[in-house]
Structure 1
C-alpha cells in the first residue's frame, strides 16, 4: 500500500517543475486517455458478452466483479484527465481524496480477484477442487469476503488517513499527498504490501509456468484444442497483467521510499506518477479477451 499519487504543478515549492510540466503531463494524459477509451470499450463489450451467456460459474462471477471494479475506476479517470489538462483542481478536497482512493483501491481489489482466479484454476488442475462443487452461491460469498476485507483494510487507510494535512487544501492542486510517505506507519504498510504482492505473484507465477509446461509436453501439438490448457493460459494472462501493470509500481516504490525528500524531488515525483498511471492499464484486460488475444 502506498500513499495516494501525486503530481507537481507550476509554482510548487522546492521542485523543478519544467520537466514534469512538459513530458509528465503528456505521458499521463496519453496513458489515462488510452485506458479510458480502451477500458470503456472492453468493459462494455465484455458486459454484453457476459449478459448474453448468463454464465453462473464461479470464474464468471469473479470476472463480473473485475468489470465492476474497472467501471468504477474508468468513471474517475475524466477527473484526472481534467486536472492534468487544466493544471488546476476544480472539484474540492473531498473529491480529490475520493478519486485518489479509487485508483489504489481498484489496484489492490483487482489484484485479489486476479489471484482468486489463478488459485481456483490451480486447485481444479491439481484435483483439490471440482468445478461441479463451485456454485453461484460460492462465488457470491467469495466476492462478499473480498470486497468486505478490502473495504475494512484499505478504505480507512486510503480515505481517512491520507491527505488529511490542512496544507493540501490551501491550493487548487490534487494528488500531492506524498508527504505522508515519511510517516513510520505508512512506510511499514508500504513495505508489507510490496512483500505480499511480489511474493504471492512470484510463487503463483512459478507454479503456473510449471503447469503450462507440463500440459504443453503432454498435449503437444494439439494443446489448444483442450479446454483445461486454455484455462491455464488465461490464468497466466492474469498473472502477466499483474507483472506488467502492478509490480513495476511496487518495485519503484522501494526506491521512492528510500530516496524521497521534500527537497529536489521532482524526478522521483515524475516517475512515481508514471508508474501510478501504469497500474490503470490493467483495465485493458477485457479488450484482450474481446479482441481474441486470449481466447
Structure 2
C-alpha cells in the first residue's frame, strides 16, 4: 500500500511538473546550452512517468503479466532515469565551471555543440548502462518460475554485481563531492570579491544555479547510494522484508 501511494503521488505530481516545465520551455523558446540540457532532463522524466503505470499495476494486482523483457525494461528505466539525470546535472555544472575559469567562451558554444554533447551522453550511457542491467540482472531462477518483477536485489549475492554496485557508488559520490567542494570554493571567493552586491553580477547568479543542481543531487540521490551500501552489506534472502521496503522507498 505504501508503494502504491508513493508511485501514484509521483505519477500525478511528476506528470503535472513535467507538463509545466515543457510549456515553459516552449514559451521561452530558449536555445541556450542549459535549456538544451534541461530538455534532455524533461525527456528523462517523461520516460520514467510512462513506466510508472506498469509498476502500479504490479503492486496493485501482485502479479506481472507483461513478460520478462518488459519487466527488465521497466526496472531499468528507474535506474537509467537516476543516472542519466545525474550525468546531465553534472554536465551543466562542469560547463558553467569551464565558462567561469575562461576555458570556454559563451560565443564558442553553439546549439549543435550541446546537441552533440547530448547525443554522446545518451549513446555512451546506453552502451554502458543498458547491457549491464539486461545481461547481469534478472537471472535469478524465481523470475522464470513465477510472475514476479522488481526483485532484482536477489542477484546481489553475486560477487561481480556487488563490485559493480560499489564501483558506481564510489564514482558517483566522489564526482559529486569534488564538484560540490569546487563550487563552494568559487561561491565563497565571489562573495568575498563582490560583497554586498554579488546578486547584481551574472557570474555569481550562474554559480548559485550550479550549486542548486548539485544540491538536488545531494538531497535526492546521495541518500539512495548511502543506503545501497547498507543494503548490499546486510541483505540476505532469509530475512530481508524491512530492507527491501526501504530499498523501494529510496528508489
Bin the TM-score by the shorter chain.
over 0.9
Matched, 1:45 2:23: no
Partner of 1:203 in structure 2? 178
The 5-angstrom pairing of residues 250-261 of structure 1 reads 250-261=225-236
Partner of 1:145 in structure 2? 120
How big is each residue's C-alpha offset from its partner over 1:183-228, in whole Å with a ceiling of 9 and x where there is no partner?
Answer: 1111111111011001000000111111122222333333333332
Among 62, 77, 82, the residue aligned to 1:107: 82
- Report the Cα distance in structure 2 between the residues aligned to 1:182 and 1:77, rounded to whole angstroms: 27
Deviates more, 1:44-53 or 1:106-115: 44-53
How big is each residue's C-alpha offset from its partner over 1:25-77, in whole Å with a ceiling of 9 and x where there is no partner?
Answer: 32x23332232222222221221222222222221111111111111001111
- Report the Cα distance in structure 2 between the residues aligned to 1:253 and 1:246, rounded to whole angstroms: 11
User: Does the Cα contact within 8 Å between 2:136 and 2:161 map onto a contact in 1?
Assistant: no
Among 34, 39, 54, the residue aligned to 1:79: 54
**Residue 266 of structure 1: how far off its partner (Å):** 1.2
Q: Secondary structure at the match of 1:233?
A: helix
Give the TM-score normalised by the residue count of structure 1.
0.80
**Residue 256 of structure 1: how far off its partner (Å):** 1.4
- Report the Cα distance in structure 1 between the residues aligned to 2:202 and 2:49, rounded to whole angstroms: 32
**RCO greater where, 1 or 2, for CA within 8 Å and sep 6 or more?**
1
Q: Secondary structure at the match of 2:41?
A: helix
Partner of 2:160 in structure 1? 185
User: Does the Cα contact within 8 Å between 2:176 and 2:214 map onto a contact in 1?
Assistant: yes
- Report the Cα distance in structure 2 between the residues aligned to 1:252 and 1:101, rounded to whole angstroms: 19
Q: Count residues in correspondence.
A: 251
**Residue 234 and residue 33 in structure 1: after superposition, are their counterparts in 2 closer, same or farther (change >3 A)?**
farther
Among 244, 265, 268, the residue aligned to 2:240: 265
After superposition, the CA RMSD in angstroms is 1.6
**Residue 161 of structure 1: how far off its partner (Å):** 2.5
User: Does the Cα contact within 8 Å between 2:48 and 2:81 map onto a contact in 1?
Assistant: yes
**Residue 121 of structure 1: how far off its partner (Å):** 0.5
**Residue 255 of structure 1: how far off its partner (Å):** 1.4
Partner of 2:189 in structure 1? 214
- Report the Cα distance in structure 1 between the residues aligned to 2:156 and 2:233, rounded to whole angstroms: 10
**Residue 79 of structure 1: how far off its partner (Å):** 1.5
Deviates more, 1:222-231 or 1:178-187: 222-231
- Report the Cα distance in structure 2 between the residues aligned to 1:38 and 1:228, rounded to whole angstroms: 33
- List, as ranges, runs of 4+ consecutive aligned residues in structure 1 with deviation greater than 3 Å: none
Partner of 1:288 in structure 2? none
Matched, 1:234 2:209: yes
Partner of 1:55 in structure 2? 30
**Residue 184 and residue 240 in structure 1: after superposition, are their counterparts in 2 closer, same or farther (change >3 A)?**
same
How big is each residue's C-alpha offset from its partner over 1:246-290, in whole Å with a ceiling of 9 and x where there is no partner?
Answer: 1111111111111211111112112111111xxxxxxxxxxxxxx
